[in-house]
Structure 1
Amino acid sequence: MSPFSIGVLAVSMSVDAFIASMGKGTAGPRPSLAMTLRTGAIFGVVEAITPLVGWLAGVAASQAVAEVDHWIAFALLAGVGIHMALQAWTRAEDAPRAASLWATVVTAIGTSIDAMAVGVSLAFLQVNILVIALAIGATTMVMSSTGLILGRYIGARFGRIAETLGGVALIAIGAMILRDHLGGAA
Structure 2
Amino acid sequence: MASVPYVGELITLSFMALALGMDAFSVGLGMGMIPLRLRRILLIGLVVGAFHIMMPFTGMVLGRFLSNQLGDVTTIAGGALLVILGIQMFRSSIQKERAPVFTPVGFGLLIFALSVSLDSFSVGLSLGMFGVRTVLTLILFGLMSTLLTWIGLLLGKKVQGILGAYSEMFGGSILCAFGMQLILS
TM-score norm. by structure 1 comes to: 0.89
Structure 1 counterpart of 2:113, one-letter code: A
- Distance in 2 of aligned mates of 1:91 and 1:11: 23
Of 144, 147, 155 in structure 1, the residue corresponding to residue 152 of structure 2 is: 147
**1:37-74 CA distances to partner (integer Å, 9 max, x unpaired)?**
10110110001110001111112221232131221111
Structure 1 counterpart of 2:13, one-letter code: I
> How many residues are aligned here?
178
SS in structure 1 opposite 2:157?
Answer: helix
Of 8, 11, 15 in structure 1, the residue corresponding to residue 15 of structure 2 is: 8
Q: Where in structure 2 are the equivalents of 1:118-133 lying within 5 Å?
A: 118-133=123-138
Q: Does 1:80 align with 2:85?
A: yes
Gaps of 5+ in 1: 181-186
User: Does the CA-based 8 Å contact 2:24-2:149 persist in structure 1?
Assistant: yes
SS in structure 2 opposite 1:127?
Answer: coil
Report the CA distance between 1:136 and its aligned residue.
Answer: 0.5
Gap change, CA 1:101 and 1:156, over 3 Å in 2:
farther
**1:83-113 CA distances to partner (integer Å, 9 max, x unpaired)?**
1111222354334242423212101101111
User: Does the CA-based 8 Å contact 1:84-1:164 persist in structure 2?
Assistant: yes
Query: Could you say which residue in structure 2 is the equivalent of 1:17?
Result: 24
Q: CA RMSD in A?
A: 1.5
User: Does the CA-based 8 Å contact 2:50-2:142 persist in structure 1?
Assistant: yes
**More divergent stretch after superposition (4-13 vs 99-108):** 99-108
- Distance in 1 of aligned mates of 2:169 and 2:27: 14
Structure 2 counterpart of 1:82, one-letter code: I
User: Does the CA-based 8 Å contact 1:23-1:97 persist in structure 2?
Assistant: no
TM-score norm. by structure 2 comes to: 0.90
Query: Could you say which residue in structure 1 is the equivalent of 2:71?
Result: 66
SS in structure 2 opposite 1:155?
Answer: coil
Q: Does 1:110 align with 2:124?
A: no
Structure 1 counterpart of 2:109, one-letter code: T
Q: Does 1:51 align with 2:53?
A: no
Gaps of 5+ in 2: 1-7
SS in structure 1 opposite 2:129?
Answer: coil
Percent of pairs with identical residues: 24
Give the ranges of 4+ consecutive aligned residues of structure 1 lying more than 6 Å apart after TM superposition. Answer: none
